[in-house]
Amino acid sequence: MHQEKLELWQHPHLFHADKKTLEKRTLLVVVITFLTMIAEIVFGWLTNSMALLADGWHMGTHAFALGISLLAYILARKYAHDRRFTFGTWKIEILGAYSSAIVLGLVGAAMVFTALNRLFKPLAIHYDQAIIMALIGLAVNLLSAAILNFHGRHPKQDGHDHGQEHWRRDLNLRSAYLHVLADAFTSVLAIVALLGAKYFGLVWLDPAAGILGAALILRWAVSLLKETAGILLEREMDSPLVGAIRKQMEADGDTRVSDLHLWKVAQDKYACIIALVSAKDRPLSDYKARLEGFGELVHVTIELNPCQ
């Protein structure tokens, strides 16, 4: 068979969308976070402010996690056409989101430990410096969140904004967004706690706010870990799509599905292997036609076995 004819039955395995815009936004947030980290560490060292130094290094952990998200976008784009990746490079982004979620969890755990220690062993707080630091951190993180959360203007189909839906389901972007959102949330809690301690003497508010913020961060981290781990481990057989495919393939009353495997290869895109048993001799095209209504399926392999 000539190569030209063979190519009629071949197709590329690039299933995920171009994400250069998201990559650029993530890069911008990494740069902003890194520069803020350097400024806080240098200013903290010059003014002997432990609060500024601590927040600077805390900002560094988020810069590291955001760097993971950025690296995932870069690698996924760089190797998008590399045939060594069987179903494309989308899972590099998922691996980045999973790794970032681990860092987010570690930050939350460290916050719990530090807050509990401060609750039982309170230290003198330089309120003015700490409040200024928290306000700067809040401003930087709100700016970063706005950059990552901006999904632009997309045409609505059936009254639905597909750009916003795409943003919500991009786990790598969501992991980066959760890092800056977590930092912004802890800054808000810190400002409230510091003002309460400074003006009303409620010193316990500072560690209490830390514990509350850490609890929320840990909850976000666990949620993201569950979702990304499920994709990395190919846990898709509990999807409603599995039952719908089985029902459609067995609709003739004779054909039975003997084996079915479904897994994600991109955002809302699936590959599928189906083994069928039938007593009647039907063409393969008949079975493939039954799946035409499933737009989520981008790579389907069907195996036909005669019923003995």
We report the CATH number of the domain holding residue 30 as 1.20.1510.10
**% of the chain beyond a pLDDT of 90:** 24
Residues 154 and 286 both lie in one domain: no
Of 232, 249, 268, the residue that ends a domain is: 232
Burial code (b: 16+ CB inside 10 Å, e: under 16) for 175-195 equals: bbbbbbbbbbbbbbbbbebbe
* Burial tier of 142 (Cβ tally within 10 Å: 0-12, 13-18, 19+): middle
What pLDDT band is residue 157 in, cutting at 50, 70 and 90? very low
The two most distant CA atoms of the chain are separated, in Å, by 85
What are the C-alpha distances in Å from 67 to residues 9, 32, 46, 100? 40, 12, 27, 9
Residues 21 and 119 both lie in one domain: yes
pTM: 0.76
Residues 33 and 153 both lie in one domain: yes
Residue 246 domain boundaries:
240-306
Residues 93 and 222 both lie in one domain: yes
Residues 128 and 265 both lie in one domain: no
* Burial tier of 94 (Cβ tally within 10 Å: 0-12, 13-18, 19+): buried
Of 232, 265, 281, the residue that ends a domain is: 232
CATH number at residue 277: 3.30.70.1350
pLDDT tens-digit readout, 216-235: 889 889 999 999 999 899 88
| Mutual angle of helices 205-232 and 171-200, in 10-degree steps | 170
Residues 286 and 141 both lie in one domain: no
Residues 208 and 262 both lie in one domain: no
Strands 269-278 and 297-306: parallel
Query: Is residue 214 in a domain?
Result: yes
pLDDT tens-digit readout, 2-25: 545 545 444 555 545 557 888 899
Number of structural domains (the chain) is 2
The torsion defined by the Cα of 132, 54, 33 and 211, in degrees rounded to 10, comes to -90
Q: Is there a contact between 276 and 302 (Cβ–Cβ < 8 Å)?
A: yes
